[in-house]
Amino acid sequence: MRGPHNIWRLIRTAATFERTGALGVVLNEMDAPTSIRVVVRLFGWTMRWAGLKGDPNMPPVTRALNALGPAYIKFGQVLSTRPDLVGGDLATQLRVLQDKLPPFPTDVAKATVEEELGKPADNIYSEFSDAVAAASIAQVHHARLISTGEEVAVKVLRPNIERAFRKDIDAFYFAASVIEFLSPSSRRLRPRDVIEHFDHGVMSELDLRSEASAASEFFENTKNDEKFQVPLANWEFSSRRVMTLGWADGLPLGDNDALDAAGHDRVALAQRVLQLFLSHALRDGYFHADMHQGNMKVAANGDIIAYDFGIMGRIDEYTRRVYAEILIGFIRRDYKRVAEVHFEAGYVPADRDVDEFASALRAVGEPIFGMDASQISMGRLFHYLFEVTERFGMETRTELILLQRTMVVVEGVARSLDPYINIWEVAHPVVEDYIKSNLGPRAMMRDLLKTARVLARFGPELPKMAEAALIHHSQPPAKPQTTSPWRPAMYILLGAVTAWTGFLLALAVLS
């Protein structure tokens, strides 16, 4: 339940960061001014008694986030992929949050399996190990099916995880409301909408039937992708709180020493991770939206194996084209076109100056064009981008939050594999191929063909629609009207004829 009682939750958050020593680490990493340090530390010290102690064996920030709960852990997972923002040491510490959290007892997991699947776990699996990975929402067990002998991964939700997430998210909603009230300028960032988007994603992640469905769809989309694997879900032994998935055998993508020892090419892996994400987002409009190192392995043959499909992103075809045009514009250093696309898509208010916006984008792109990742300060870049969005009145686009967040995570993963990766060069061929396939003359013909197919379904109804339009036109209206009642029907009829003409033209061009 949202309300002022969440003030206590937020106070406890600050107090926990102070008690665990995380507050000082965060202030140092942010290079906070002395005045801010004094105020924050004084408040934290005053309320220190209210903070959670956490696991003293963990580093401070990891300890604080783990103590505060699953929603905070999710935030830490994102930061763990950005050593350029939080520093290499802190990023390494936070990586524990990806899949190395304290597990709950195996007996509890087996009891959940029996409750969900209707039969004891020992009657389904001939082997059922202790947890091999434990994250914020669930943990994974290595098992073997009695019926087929297949090695599988059994994912089981943590006990009472739904209630724990609900408490955290309610506090986030309250914090967003306070921010909007105290800072009217922040409303363009739509903090409540951002939290609502996060809320929706988390609730989907807490239903493993949705994850099984996502795994199945993702497998179908990517089964022909080279050097990429997706395990198949076993629907017979999956439910809301339990999911059985094919076993992924390989080295963790985040263990550079192990990858080097096994002879894997980390430069090639970094490029493939970035290109696979762009390909899935642009080509399919459906992408893995939680691509941190804890959710990917490298098989013995060098294939990248993706798993954990609790958070998936979907973008429509129009948005994909806008996103591709923005990317290719930056790659080609055509900042005027990038600016025009932003205006055409409605991302920038129409009353702003397009040339001035193009100049601001040039100031973003030119300093980093052609540089490798080691030469780019993402912290300074994000800071300037925030200034640009504020200056031009750009609001947060909730439909792009997941795409943008995943792009940040994937770029961070690629950096961790190859600190010298040039993201523009790596992205270029994927975006170029998409542009050629989806923004040229043949793409326009395909669009006409799709429109014709949709309108063709109304073919049998066209005579009736024309007759109804003529009848309405011949009868005088009972009352004066500003819009004739037959006009919409005539528009539909005219549109159908136009689309049919386009259909014939498309056939001629594509044949």
User: Which region, left, alpha or beta, applies to residue 152 given φ > 0 means left and ψ of -120 to 50 means alpha?
Assistant: beta
Sheet of 304-306: strands edge to edge? 228-229, 304-306, 296-298, 251-252
Cα–Cα distance, 465 to 446 (Å, whole number): 27
Residue with tokens 């005088």: 476
Q: Which residues contact 78 (CB under 8 A, 6 or more apart)?
A: 292, 405, 408, 409
- The answer to whether 291 and 406 are in contact (CB under 8 A) is yes
Residue 223, phi then psi, degrees to nearest 5: -65, -20
Catalytic residue (one of 290, 303, 351, 433)? 290
- The answer to whether 61 and 29 are in contact (CB under 8 A) is no
- The answer to whether 418 and 266 are in contact (CB under 8 A) is yes
- 151-157 and 242-246 beta bridge pairing: antiparallel
Instruction: Kindly provide the b/e burial profile for residues 245-265, where b requires at least 16 CB atoms within 10 angstroms of the residue's own CB.
Output: bbbbebbbbbebeebeeeebe
**Sequence letter at residue 193:** D
Residue 257 falls in the annotated catalytic set? no
Cα Rg of the chain (Å, integer): 27
SS3 content of the chain, % helix, strand, coil (to 5): 65, 10, 25
- The answer to whether 154 and 243 are in contact (CB under 8 A) is yes
Tokens of 206: 């807490």
Residue 254, SS3 per DSSP? coil
The Cα-based distances of 324 to 7, 68, 201, 443 in angstroms read: 42, 39, 24, 14
Q: What are the residue ranges of helices labelled H in 118-255?
A: 161-182, 191-205, 208-222
Cα–Cα distance, 318 to 283 (Å, whole number): 12
Residue with tokens 């949705």: 210
- The answer to whether 187 and 193 are in contact (CB under 8 A) is no
> What residues are labeled active site?
290
